[in-house]
Structure 1
């Protein structure tokens, strides 16, 4: 925060430093040349640099008059520099920028259980759009000037301006209180570094990373990534299925979890279940139009297309197909 403030008000800080330097030099100059006390030297310096014209504390010697003349000339330059710095800051909107920065910092520091998105390129933007759709709190870490200009105009996106490979920036983004991190940097080496740093700072963090080279996949896993996504590979497979299985692919697109107006496929963790319950009992108890197409057991075993009489326990995860309003009802009733 201090470095940001100095960056924006460098001229003002330098001017104030000169001003205090003039007062310091003037005070000790009068003490040395005119044998004034410290208080007399300080008072004489103030009435001199402020040009109020109250008169000398004591009659000045020729050396004192020469010193006073130099002090007046130096104070003119210093005051002019400070005034120019303040005017420039006001006209350029720097005060507005730093106030916005303080507001951003305060909002980010209050977050907990949020997601950090490193990089705001095409993949990063797509990730944030999905997170916004689900009202998921997130912070973007981005250093590109063009993307930062865009983010500054978005009142609903929290961001940190800087390189995600810099540990200080992801700490500022709240890495220690976050529950997940998505790194979409174009360089696999940078993503490896981000994964290593993030895992060290927060061992319980869920880390999802982008990879460009297939050879980097194992390295990213070793660096601490829980999931490694290769956008080019995924995109290629998607295009191939449009040729080989066009209708299946279109059907899966209809189940897109990022479409709020259609049938959705989502996961729901059963947190509020006191005893085992069957799928039939669960669905009928809420009179909802949903279909449970899979279960992830506590043993990490997946049960696909479970029978309606299959039993489910607290803490198990359901894969639910249905309209969002019904899924929201299910989440409100059985999940945290």
Structure 2
């Protein structure tokens, strides 16, 4: 406790310390000059009298007798009391603020320790906000580093979101957090030099970390790659959402399957049951590499029920989808995001019992080869 107290006192704002010293010196000079000329004391006694009066000790060995002497002694004593109160208030206020910061910091670290896994996001600017929304929308745990405290005021910390008001380039905390429990580090600041420095800082102590970095200039791609970034994304070209998709690439599953429209809801129930998110569906035309893509972006079972009920009430819409399925010979791919590879294995095992799985993470060419066989 003693060490913490000393450390806190050392962190007093310089401007307050300087002001306090100036006031003490000014009052002390006032006391010496007044004691010398008004009280009629010599220099040594003037210094002594100024100290005991400012400190409100007043031993009584020098007693003011005239009116001017009493006024001088009163102002010196009051000035000493006011100055002591000012300095004491600065120390107490700063001490309390620092204690709150330490307490808040301890609570944040405790919240991080309780997270099973998390994403680290550096920068909450125009692009960072989009990434943050994508992560929280999918119920992911997020640790957000942002040096601008005003930007963090709109975010409330919770069990799944921890904000850290620090410059990631000036603190080694980010390296400590980018360990085993970190799924991915997403660096979205608008300065390529800052991004490069953060990549170097993390990669130095975390060789296995998955790092996705924003790049504002194309010529910095190679520098970021050499520094250790696994993926480099230019939001100016492809948008902030792709930062999220690239960061989750180790946890994105492309599942190529074959089943009918009537089996859609049962399939969706299994995907939702395992806490996975159906990002989109790709319909593969026979022999053609580029699929028809329909964006889904949902993990809520209510959405699946609503779609099922909609098809039952609108037979023409159901017939249109059935025609699409006939064109692609019921062959299509699901792009699924999930928490980890273990969950994907369980998901695949259960889906295999209900439908035909043609392949996992197949390339466009591999899928095209499969659909060519359907033509024959």
Which TM-score bucket, shorter chain as reference? 0.5 to 0.7
Correspondence for 1:269:
341
SS at match of 1:150: coil
CA distance in 2, matches of 1:162, 1:96: 20
CA distance in 2, matches of 1:33, 1:61: 16
CA distance in 2, matches of 1:232, 1:4: 46
Correspondence for 2:107:
107
Correspondence for 2:350:
283
CA distance in 2, matches of 1:85, 1:159: 28
Matched, 1:224 2:228: yes
Structure 1 residues 259-268 or 185-194, which shifts more?
Answer: 259-268
SS at match of 2:216: coil
Unaligned runs of 5+ in 1: 27-31, 35-40, 239-246, 298-302, 308-336
Mapping of residues 1-336 of structure 1, within 5 Å = 6=11, 48-49=53-54, 51=56, 56=59, 59-60=61-62, 72=77, 74-82=79-87, 85=90, 101-110=101-110, 111-112=112-113, 113-144=117-148, 146-151=150-155, 154-156=156-158, 157-168=161-172, 170=174, 174-175=177-178, 179=182, 180-235=184-239, 248-249=292-293, 251=294, 253-254=295-296, 256=297, 262=303, 265-267=336-338, 268-270=340-342, 282-283=349-350, 295=360
SS at match of 1:167: coil
Cα shift readout 1:64-119 (whole Å, capped 9, x = no counterpart) = x99988963651341353477589x6xxxx99975663344113323244332110
Distance 1:97 1:131, change over 3 A: farther
Tell me the TM-score normalized by structure 2.
Answer: 0.49
Tell me the CA shift for residue 208 of structure 1.
Answer: 1.1
8 A Cα contact 2:203 2:228, kept in partner: yes
CA distance in 2, matches of 1:109, 1:121: 24
8 A Cα contact 1:183 1:208, kept in partner: yes
SS at match of 2:292: helix
Cα shift readout 1:290-309 (whole Å, capped 9, x = no counterpart) = 88675469xxxxx979x9xx
CA distance in 2, matches of 1:137, 1:278: 22
Structure 1 residues 203-212 or 68-77, which shifts more?
Answer: 68-77
Tell me the CA shift for residue 209 of structure 1.
Answer: 0.9
Distance 1:257 1:121, change over 3 A: farther
8 A Cα contact 2:24 2:83, kept in partner: no
RMSD, matched Cα: 5.7
Correspondence for 1:331:
none
Distance 1:145 1:104, change over 3 A: closer
Distance 1:60 1:97, change over 3 A: closer
Tell me the CA shift for residue 11 of structure 1.
Answer: 7.0
Tell me the CA shift for residue 163 of structure 1.
Answer: 2.9
8 A Cα contact 1:217 1:228, kept in partner: yes
CA distance in 1, matches of 2:154, 2:224: 30
Distance 1:212 1:272, change over 3 A: closer
Tell me the CA shift for residue 184 of structure 1.
Answer: 0.2
SS at match of 1:182: strand
Tell me the TM-score normalized by structure 1.
Answer: 0.54
Distance 1:61 1:96, change over 3 A: closer
Cα shift readout 1:212-266 (whole Å, capped 9, x = no counterpart) = 2222222111111112222233249x9xxxxxxxx934x1x21x26878657712
Larger radius of gyration: 2
Distance 1:204 1:235, change over 3 A: closer
CA distance in 1, matches of 2:301, 2:24: 61
Cα shift readout 1:272-331 (whole Å, capped 9, x = no counterpart) = 99xxx995xx3179x7x788675469xxxxx979x9xxxxxxxxxxxxxxxxxxxxxxxx
Unaligned runs of 5+ in 2: 32-42, 243-290, 305-334, 371-376
